[in-house]
Structure 1
Amino acid sequence: MTTSTARPTHRTGAVLAGAALLVALLAGCSASDDAGSASEPASVAGGADSAADGVAASTEEGGDQASTLPASGEERQVVQTGDLDLRVKDARTATDAVVTRVEAAGGRVDDRSEQATTEDSAGSATLVVRIPADQVTPVIDGLDAIGTVDRIDLKSTDVTGAAQDLDARIHALEVSVDRMDALLAKATTSKDIIDAESALTERQSNLEQLQAERNRLADQVSLSTLTVNVYGPDVAPPVETEGPTSFLDGIGVGWDAFLSSAKAVLVVAGVLLPWLAFGGAIAAGIVALVRWNRRRRPAGPVAQPAPMRAYVAPAEQDGPPRADG
């Protein structure tokens, strides 16, 4: 009996020892799995942060290279400018018609100068208008109804590459500004805050300049610039005047002529009056000087008149002269 009871006790101890070992192994595996799973988010987060920093740096440093790549699916951006000469009968009326047509197409007038028609020069006007790019051709075709188009000079400049370059630089600066905002929020010392604010201000200024340049380029693309030179007839038509047809008309014409002559005489008198006054003053001065010189001159001896001799007429004789002796 002793032997039969000892065998079951030995087997039970072995089984308990094996179960304890199995439990320890399972506990070790689960602990290692938990540690691995706990360290994985930290590494992923760090990798994401470094990847984001790398993308921002590469975008900021290689913006020029990215802008040179061809844009797939993007429309070409073209700046269109031109000059146009328009010959019309009445420059003033035609200018107003051109302005009306441009505004009806959604454009505007940036500059306008006019010269009236005179007897010596032709009337003319110069307009600098901004027209939507898709309305340039319809507006030019519509000018045929206003006058004769003598000359058209249109030029197109492709600025697609310049626009892409500006967009890349703007994007890189926006990313850089966001990073500087984050660094400024994390700064703790005064030196770090000052340095971060200085760098942030500089980058924001550059960003605003690029954005303004991009807006100007977009405006030039959306609105074409056209200079319209409007020319009227060579000289003004002579004004036809009719002569008097009645007695009263003759009186009126004569009165007008009299007034015109009187006005001309008054004008001439007004022109000569200063000169006459100046000449009279000089003449009066000369006369006064001559009189003054005469008064200062000493008086000389008065010449006595020569004595007059009496004339004795010979005595009359009645007869022939007598001979003496």
Structure 2
Amino acid sequence: MQPTHTPKKSRKSRHRTAQALSGVLLALALALTGCSGAGSDDTDSGGGDKAAAGPRDGGGRAEDSRGGKQKPVAPTDTHVIRTARLTVRVKDVPAALDRARTAAEDAGGIVGSENTSRDGAGRERSRIVLRVPQAKYDDVLASLEGTGKLVDREAKAQDVTDQVVDVESRVASQRASVARVRELMDKATKLSDVVSLEGELSTRQADLEALLARQASLKDRTSMATITLSLAESPVRAEAKGDDTSFLDALSGGWDAFVTMLRWIGVALAAVLPFLAVAALLVLLWLRVVRLRLRRHPEVTSAQGDDD
């Protein structure tokens, strides 16, 4: 009879429906599990695990391991280049140089360069460049200012923290790049591949050496401050004797003035002497011509008298 077949079809359909429903529920459960796992990963990387953050960039920010949003990171160290220029007038330049060298050496510094000369008036001038540790920079600067009379001072401080961080990151990346090329060279079997990799290794090694040189320069300039000290001898008239001028001083001054006058007179005569010689020669020639005319004139006059 037909009524006996209808329940079997309904049971099959219900069974299929239950299978479909269970499949949908399983898919939903898997989706929810994936979402919860992603949420926990975000929580771990964003809040709890700061070590997963990537390297800091030049602006003091860090990028997380998934390359996501950058987050500000407080810099651990500050790198500053300090330079100063001083001009000081002193009574004794060699003694002031000794004090400057001693101040730098006592602070753990060195003398970079030194130059000494004399001006047209015979006064001694010296220029010395000192390299001192950053921690002793202010103390050495104050000591040098007290050497004599301060004429000029210029001090500069340049923050190069961004450059230091950038160079450190680039050095690390370039070292890893060189290591990868060397690994490829170890695995290379063809001669053409080896030659190509050697050229690439040479280029990357040169770039790494340039970065290391820049890194060393920055380290030297940020760890040691540079002070340029210019020393000038005070003018002699600054040590005036006052109004109590002695007789010998007056006599010496008068004699110097007399000798100077004679010297100028001699110079003037030497300049005029050629003209005086020419003038004297002309006068002699004129006198001779006049005398000849005077001698001839009486003879002519006497001859005319005889004719009459």
For the aligned pair, the TM-score class normalised by the smaller chain equals: 0.5 to 0.7
Report how far residue 117 of structure 1 moved.
Answer: 7.3
Report how far residue 137 of structure 1 moved.
Answer: 0.7
Whichever of the two has the greater Rg, that structure is 1
Higher strand share: 2
- Of the three residues 100, 104, 107, the one matched with 1:105 is 107
TM-score, normalised via structure 1 length: 0.51
Report how far residue 90 of structure 1 moved.
Answer: 2.4
| Separation in 1, partners of 2:186, 2:56 | 26
User: 1:136 maps to which residue?
Assistant: 137
User: 1:212 maps to which residue?
Assistant: 213
Amino acid in structure 2 at the alignment position of 1:74: T
Report how far residue 153 of structure 1 moved.
Answer: 1.8
Report how far residue 109 of structure 1 moved.
Answer: 1.5
Contact 1:80 1:154 in 2 (8 A): yes
Amino acid in structure 1 at the alignment position of 2:232: Y
Report how far residue 64 of structure 1 moved.
Answer: 6.5
User: 1:77 maps to which residue?
Assistant: 79
Name the count of aligned residue pairs.
233
Contact 1:122 1:231 in 2 (8 A): yes
User: 2:173 maps to which residue?
Assistant: 172
Amino acid in structure 2 at the alignment position of 1:149: L
Counting only pairs closer than 5 Å after superposition, residues 146-185 of structure 1 correspond to structure 2 as 146-185=147-186
Amino acid in structure 2 at the alignment position of 1:97: R
CA distance change for structure 1 residues 68 and 207 in 2, over 3 Å: closer, same or farther? farther
User: 2:124 maps to which residue?
Assistant: 123
| Separation in 1, partners of 2:111, 2:191 | 53
Report how far residue 126 of structure 1 moved.
Answer: 1.5
Contact 1:91 1:124 in 2 (8 A): no
- State, as a whole percentage, how many aligned pairs show the same letter: 26
Contact 1:66 1:168 in 2 (8 A): no
CA distance change for structure 1 residues 126 and 224 in 2, over 3 Å: closer, same or farther? same
| Separation in 2, partners of 1:63, 1:172 | 13
Report how far residue 224 of structure 1 moved.
Answer: 0.8
Report how far residue 100 of structure 1 moved.
Answer: 1.3
Amino acid in structure 1 at the alignment position of 2:97: T
Amino acid in structure 1 at the alignment position of 2:105: E
Deviation per CA, 1:274-302: give whole Å up to 9, x if none. xxxxxxxxxxxxxxxxxxxxxxxxxxxxx
Report how far residue 112 of structure 1 moved.
Answer: 1.3
Report how far residue 219 of structure 1 moved.
Answer: 0.3
Amino acid in structure 1 at the alignment position of 2:148: G
Aligned alpha-carbon RMSD (Å):
5.2
CA distance change for structure 1 residues 236 and 73 in 2, over 3 Å: closer, same or farther? closer
